[in-house]
Amino acid sequence: MLGEAETSGAVELQRDKLDGRIDRVVLREDPAQLYALLGRSLPAATAAAAGHSLIQRLPALRPDLATVVDQLVDGWGKKRNLVRDLAPADIETAIGVFRAAAALLERDGKDDTDMRTFSRRTTGDSKFVEGNLGRIADVLRLAQPLPDYLDASEILAQRGIRKWAHVCLIAGPATYRGVRLPSEPYIGVAPEMAAHLGVAAQPTWILTEENLASFNRQAREASDGPGIVIYTGGFPSDTTLAAVLTLAGVATCPVFHWGDIDAGGVKIAYCIERKLAEIMRSLALHLMSPELALLHGRPVAPTRVLKASEGSCVHALVEFLASDKARTLEQEELSLTIPEIS
């Protein structure tokens, strides 16, 4: 095979002057001969063929997405994937990704649609969008500027595409349409109920919690009666955010958040803080500080989670996690306490 490659001009064989053994195989500047000999296509040719197929199958593609196709094809020609794990051979997947991205860019986010219904209508497969969230988000980021702190599911949520929201779990003196809700130990609130929540009496504090185990313990072991505890379920759903805003809007007490000290926990707190700012309410952190992480946490590599102004409640943690002292800390490592009112 090497001799044939040398004869065709695909490679140069450099031999030892004494015994004639091959010391080195040098690829010629133009690799086309070698690709032809091996029965393969050049990356640029493969990429161009894939791009042509995409355009043929997506004839009415928006200009911004057509530009993304050009970028994708250019990357493929250089053996680079601009969209995670999407290769020139994955044309069917790419078509579905671009169809979903196009439908998302046409939405204004005002009317919510559950993810599986949207997926079925746009790609013909009810599970396609859920299985390709990262790829769809990559295409959207290439097409339009998007906040870098949003993950793939959050980007789709901005456009009104969400999984069916979980109920919001609340412990404490909350009401629904003026009627006090059972609160021992807590109750679930459906999405439609969030806008009609109220308080039975002015609570002493409102505390949102990231993890279910900590929420369960807080509701049972560390509540002073007038305090309200809300489970965010990790990154809060629209139902949970609506409940938090409604309760914070009718109460005058401080609002706190307690979550893990890590990238996800900081993002969750930042999201809640930004939503509360829309109704001119502030957020304070509970049991979330660099000092606690240094005492009880585990060392990690420095990571810049997001950009937060000095006035943000997460600013100190953002800087801490980006420093050489960075440590993460899970809620469950700490004993529960009631938020301190200053």
Residue with tokens 């990690």: 300
Tens of pLDDT, residue by residue over 225-274, are: 789 999 998 888 878 899 999 999 999 999 999 999 999 999 999 999 99
pLDDT above 90 covers what percent of the chain?
52
Residue with tokens 């986010």: 109
Evaluate if residue 5 carries a pLDDT over 50.
no
pTM of the predicted protein model: 0.62
d(Cα 51, Cα 75) in Å, to the nearest integer?
11
In 3D space, the residue among 85, 196, 197 whose CA is nearest the CA of residue 136 turns out to be 85
What string of DSSP letters covers 296-317?
H-EE----------TTSTTHHH
Neighbours of 21 (CB within 10 A): 7
d(Cα 330, Cα 297) in Å, to the nearest integer?
8
All domains of the chain in start order, with CATH: 2-38 (no CATH), 43-162 (no CATH), 168-333 (3.40.1360.10)
Tens of pLDDT, residue by residue over 107-145, are: 866 567 888 999 999 999 999 999 999 999 999 999 988
Residue 30 CB partners (closer than 8 Å, separation 6+): none
CA of 272: how far to CAs of 38, 173, 204, 240, 269, in Å?
57, 21, 19, 10, 5
SS3 199: strand
What string of DSSP letters covers 259-287?
--BSHHHHHHHHHHHHHHHTTT---EESS
Residue 327 CB partners (closer than 8 Å, separation 6+): 261, 293, 294, 297, 298, 299, 300, 320
d(Cα 330, Cα 77) in Å, to the nearest integer?
44
- For 65, half-sphere exposure in the C-beta direction (CA atoms, 13 angstrom radius) is 23
- Name the band, by pLDDT with cuts 50, 70 and 90, for residue 3: low
Mean pLDDT in the chain? 85
Beta strands in 11-88 (DSSP E): 11-15, 22-27
Evaluate if residue 223 carries a pLDDT over 70.
no
Contact 261, 317 (CB under 8 A): yes
Tens of pLDDT, residue by residue over 262-318, are: 999 999 999 999 999 999 999 999 999 999 999 999 999 999 999 899 999 999 999
d(Cα 321, Cα 267) in Å, to the nearest integer?
12
d(Cα 287, Cα 340) in Å, to the nearest integer?
10
Residue 136 CB partners (closer than 8 Å, separation 6+): 97, 100, 101, 104, 129, 152, 156
